[in-house]
């Protein structure tokens, strides 16, 4: 707690109108968003690397983002860091009655279902307390899924919401024909695109069909209990490492690599 108070004081000093840092003074909620997202991804990267010293460092950077938002809100008289901590503490107690009261869940599935139901109750309470909001929108299972989330984790959350009413396939095996069907539709649109002279019009259809393929692949990953974001990160890492080896094979001579045919490049790729 002593170090936390020190951090809060540092943040306050950085935002001091007279003696603060010019860069920190010009920041806003909106300008900080990109940095917050970057820090969250750097935490994930550090965890993937297994370097716990780096994890500690990156978690500190992410915590600083929260402290920054809290300072902005404190200056506006909205809330402070203590209010943030209190809010999440209250929420966790309410959503974990099996820990903080005598409630019992039969399994993890029952717990997760209750978790979502509690979130819906909280959303309903918020909506019913604001008559204007109540008139403008109805409570939906899709509420609460951030629009700013990267598309892949957002797709996972959307699908996780849908399964609460049983809108889901039974197994991973049943997802595969769905992916094949989406690929067939994508191929149809690609052929139409190649035959069409006005290519601006058809590219949107290809984009939509490709999106459906990706959404179905996320569904497959979810059914296999695999994090698609992590799976793609692993593939990205695997590709870049293999590509570096191919560059090393050609002694990092870019002109030489550019002069080699794709057939030859693929042969080297398969050997690595």
Do 202 and 192 meet the contact criterion of CB atoms below 8 Å apart?
yes
pLDDT tens, position by position, 11-47: 999 999 999 999 999 999 999 999 998 999 899 889 9
Has residue 8 been placed in a domain?
yes
Has residue 100 been placed in a domain?
no
pLDDT tens, position by position, 57-98: 999 999 999 999 999 999 999 999 999 999 999 999 988 888
Rounded to an integer, what distance in angstroms lies between the CA atom of residue 203 and that of residue 185?
13
Look at residue 200 in the predicted model and tell me its pLDDT.
Answer: 56
Look at residue 61 in the predicted model and tell me its pLDDT.
Answer: 97
Domain co-membership, 127 together with 56: no
Has residue 211 been placed in a domain?
yes
79: left (phi over 0), alpha (psi -120 to 50) or beta: beta
Has residue 29 been placed in a domain?
yes
266: containing domain: 234-272
Top pLDDT among 79 and 230 is at 79
Domain co-membership, 6 together with 79: yes
- The pTM of the full predicted model, rounded to 2 decimals, is 0.66
Domain co-membership, 60 together with 87: yes
Domain co-membership, 185 together with 243: no
CB atoms within 10 A of CB 238: 10
Do 133 and 178 meet the contact criterion of CB atoms below 8 Å apart?
no
- What domain count does the chain have? 4
């Amino acid at each position: 707690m002593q170090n936390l108070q020190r951090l809060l004081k540092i943040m306050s000093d950085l935002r001091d109108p007279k003696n603060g840092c010019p860069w920190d003074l010009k920041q806003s909620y909106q300008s900080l968003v990109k940095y917050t997202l970057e820090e969250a991804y750097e935490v994930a990267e550090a965890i993937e690397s297994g370097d716990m010293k780096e994890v500690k460092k990156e978690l500190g950077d992410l915590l600083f983002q929260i402290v920054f938002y809290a300072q902005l809100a404190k200056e506006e008289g909205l809330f402070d860091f203590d209010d943030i901590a209190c809010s999440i503490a209250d929420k966790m107690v309410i959503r974990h009655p099996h820990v903080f009261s005598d409630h019992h869940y039969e399994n993890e599935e029952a717990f997760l279902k209750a978790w979502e139901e509690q979130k819906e109750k909280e959303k309903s309470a918020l909506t019913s307390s604001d008559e204007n909001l109540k008139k403008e929108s109805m409570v939906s299972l899709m509420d609460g899924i951030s629009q700013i989330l990267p598309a892949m984790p957002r797709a996972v959350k959307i699908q996780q919401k849908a399964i609460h009413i049983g809108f889901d396939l039974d197994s991973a095996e049943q997802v595969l024909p769905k992916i094949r069907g989406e690929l067939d539709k994508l191929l149809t649109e690609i052929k139409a695109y190649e035959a069409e002279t006005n290519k601006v019009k058809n590219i949107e259809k290809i984009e939509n069909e490709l999106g459906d393929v990706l959404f179905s692949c996320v569904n497959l990953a979810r059914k296999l209990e695999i994090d698609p974001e992590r799976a793609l990160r692993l593939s990205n890492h695997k590709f870049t490492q293999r590509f570096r080896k191919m560059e090393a094979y050609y002694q990092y001579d870019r002109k030489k690599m550019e002069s080699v045919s794709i057939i030859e490049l693929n042969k080297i790729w398969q050997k690595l």
